[in-house]
Structure 1
Amino acid sequence: MPTYVALLNWTEQGIRNYKETAKRADSFSAAAQKLGAKLLNIYWTVGPYDLVATIEAPDDETVTATLLQLGGVGNVRSTTLRAFGREEMDRIITKAVG
Structure 2
Amino acid sequence: RIKEVNKEIEALGVKVLLQYAVLGPYDFVNIVQAPDNKTIARMSLELGSRGTVQIMSLAAIPIDEFIESLKKK
Please report the TM-score for the alignment, with normalisation by the length of structure 2. Answer: 0.81
Structure 1 residues without counterparts, runs of 5 or longer: 1-22
Runs of 4+ with deviation above 2 angstroms:
none
Answer yes or no: is 1:96 the counterpart of 2:70. Answer: yes
Separation in 1, partners of 2:71, 2:14:
32
Q: With CA pairs under 8 Å and 6+ residues apart, which has the higher RCO, 1 or 2?
A: 1
- 1:53-68 alignment runs, 5 A limit: 53-68=30-45
How many residues end up aligned between the 2 structures? 72
- C-alpha deviation, 1:41, in angstroms: 1.7
Report the RMSD for the aligned CA atoms in angstroms: 1.5
- 1:1-98 alignment runs, 5 A limit: 23=1, 25-84=2-61, 88-98=62-72
More helix by share: 1
- C-alpha deviation, 1:74, in angstroms: 2.5
- C-alpha deviation, 1:81, in angstroms: 0.8
More strand by share: 1
Deviations 1:42-94 (A, max 9, x none): 2221111111111101111101111211122332111111122xxx2212212
User: Identity over aligned residues, as a percent?
Assistant: 32
